[in-house]
Amino acid sequence: MTARSRADCAAALVGLPGMTPVRLGRLLAGRDPVAVWSDLVAGRAGVDRYHVDAARSTDPGRVGDRYRAAGVAVLLPGDDGYPDRLMADPGAPAVLFALGRPRGLTGRPAVAIVGTRSATPYGRQVAAELGRDLAAAGVSVVSGLALGTDGAAHTGALQGVGADPGPPVAVVGTGLDVVYPASHATLWGAVAERGAVLSESPLGTPPLPRAFPARNRIIAALADVVVVVESHHRGGSLYTAEAAARRGIPVGAVPGSVRSPASRGTNGLLVDGCIPIRDAADVLVAVSLASAGRPAPAPVPEEGALVAARGRDRPGRRAAGVPSEPSVAGAPATGTPERAVLDAVETEPTPVETVLLRTGLSLAAVAEAGHRLVVSGHLRSGAGWWSRR
């Protein structure tokens, strides 16, 4: 029998039909995968017959080749790159697959930013700002690469600039060669390049509903603090919050309008005593408190980052990759149509109709003033609405 590598055998075990994270954990139970594989093939592992049959027709070397060809690392607990935080976790995946540089997580504070897939513009904006400012402060942003909040948080994290920006880390529910959702292909690639994409599912695993709550526990376990940006009543991101709470990891929630269903879950978390999160500074305070109790202390965020995150001047404007925004000039003079329009627009998307009624100006005047305010950087615009920057 040729010498088999631990990684190849581990990957082959995960890829067996009918293998679940729980069965895998029971089978491996801290033992050497090569030995487990030999036992399995010899029929000594005490598992179902079909696992044995499948194992006998599988060549671990060939399986390993597929992972090497895809550039996917196979990590076992204790391996270089297997996240430290997962080592002590009761629900830790016995085998973890990784794209990019999973090592980047080591010795850094990590914050999970999660939330609903059907996020409101408010939620997406806050998630992106948190991601950006936390990455700039050197924090690793952990999320799930899903639509809505997750995507916004990762996009923001990629835009964070600083002396040592934190690498983004994504934990996904599919195989690492299955990009889901497909519209996040570019983002997926960028996260893998700057940070890491992790999964406990073997290559080729399609998006299965059960995989997502399972990966939420990994997201929670990887973070020092879990921030829920927006969640509907009984939304999926509440599972992440619950998984974090069970591990004693602090959970923060971004307050939202009491009338917004997309904030019902998060507002409920606040009532339950979670940390209110207004901006990155709130998170950083929570991180330093959380990491104070940890054996490997994370670098304390610089004082400057706190100030920048709290200040009125939003640091994101200097983000690389974002076309330089026109500098926000002072507020327009009182009595001008611009002033009237600016006063009529809220931070939430405000329909043109509302602006017309509040200002009493003609549509042409509102249109021109709105355009000038967009150019001067006071307003954002969409189809039929404006919102304050």
Partner 1 sequence: MIAAIPSAVLIGVDGKLVRVEVHVSNGLPGFTVVGLPDAAVRESRDRVRAALLSSGLPWPLRRVTVNLAPSGVRKGGAGLDLPIAVGLLVASGELPPEAVAGMAFVGELGLDGSLRAPTGTLVLAEALRDRLLVVPEASVAEATVCGSGRVRSAPTLRRLVDALVGRRPWGDAAPTVPVPPGDGTPAGDRDLADIRGQRLARRALEVAACGGHHLLMVGPPGSGKTMLAHRLPDLLPALDRTTSLEATRVHSVAGFGLPPTGLLTRPPFRAPHHGASAVAMIGGGTTWMRPGEISLAHGGVLFLDEMGEFPTAVLDALRQPLEDGHVVVSRARGATTFPARFVLVGAMNPCPCGEGGAPGRCRCSQAARERYARRLSAPLLDRFDLAIRVDRPDVDHLVGGPPGESTATVGARVARARHRAVARQGSANGTLSGARLDRCAPVSDEAATRLELELRSGALTARGLHRVRRIARTLADLDGVERVGSAQVAEALLLRCRRQLLLGGEDPR
**The Cα angle at residue 191 between residues 177 and 219, in degrees rounded to 5:** 85
Site membership for partner 1, residue 363 (CB under 8 A): yes
Please list the alpha-helical segments (H only) found in 137-184.
149-159
The nearer residue to partner 1, 58 or 143, going by C-beta atoms, is 143
- Residue 362 Cβ vs partner 1, minimum distance, rounded to whole Å: 8
- Residue 26 Cβ vs partner 1, minimum distance, rounded to whole Å: 36
Q: Which residues are paired to 141 by β-bridges?
A: 111
The nearer residue to partner 1, 1 or 364, going by C-beta atoms, is 364
Question: Is 194:168 a contact under the CB 8 Å cutoff?
Answer: yes
Choose among 179, 178, 172: nearest CA to 205. Answer: 178
Site membership for partner 1, residue 380 (CB under 8 A): yes
Q: Residues 259-278 vs partner 1: string with x where CB under 8 A?
A: xxxxx---------------
The nearer residue to partner 1, 32 or 353, going by C-beta atoms, is 353
Interatomic CA distance for residues 389 and 381, integer angstroms: 10
- Residue 364 Cβ vs partner 1, minimum distance, rounded to whole Å: 4
Q: How many residues bind partner 1 (CB under 8 A)?
A: 39
Site membership for partner 1, residue 32 (CB under 8 A): no
Q: How far is the first Cα of the chain from the last one, in angstroms, to the nearest whole number?
A: 66
Question: Is 224:244 a contact under the CB 8 Å cutoff?
Answer: no
Near partner 1 by CB under 8 A, which window of 34-42, 116-124, 199-207, 245-253?
A: 116-124
Q: Classify residue 150 by burial, with Cβ atoms within 10 Å: 0-12, 13-18, 19+.
A: buried
**3-state class (DSSP) for residue 142:** strand
Interatomic CA distance for residues 95 and 76, integer angstroms: 5
Site membership for partner 1, residue 212 (CB under 8 A): no
Interatomic CA distance for residues 371 and 389, integer angstroms: 14
Where do we find the tokens 């996040």? 184
**The Cα angle at residue 323 between residues 322 and 329, in degrees rounded to 5:** 110
Interatomic CA distance for residues 67 and 59, integer angstroms: 13
Q: Write out the binding residues for partner 1, residues 134-193 only, by CB under 8 A.
A: 147-148, 181
User: Of residues 91, 104, 121, 189, which one binds partner 1 by CB under 8 A?
Assistant: 121
The nearer residue to partner 1, 88 or 329, going by C-beta atoms, is 329
The nearer residue to partner 1, 5 or 354, going by C-beta atoms, is 354
User: Of residues 6, 184, 215, 232, which one binds partner 1 by CB under 8 A?
Assistant: 232
Assigned token pair, 210: 């059960």
Q: Residues 287-326 vs partner 1: string with x where CB under 8 A?
A: ----------------------------------------
Near partner 1 by CB under 8 A, which window of 133-141, 198-206, 288-296, 368-376?
A: 368-376
- Residue 336 Cβ vs partner 1, minimum distance, rounded to whole Å: 15
User: Of residues 82, 122, 180, 212, which one binds partner 1 by CB under 8 A?
Assistant: 122
Question: Is 231:237 a contact under the CB 8 Å cutoff?
Answer: yes
Q: Which residues are paired to 225 by β-bridges?
A: 111
Helix pair angle (21-28, 33-42), 10° resolution = 100
Q: Write out the binding residues for partner 1, residues 342-361 only, by CB under 8 A.
A: 348-349, 351-354, 356-357
Site membership for partner 1, residue 368 (CB under 8 A): yes
Binding site for partner 1 (CB under 8 A): 117-118, 120-122, 147-148, 181, 232, 256-257, 259-263, 348-349, 351-354, 356-357, 363-368, 370-371, 374, 380-385
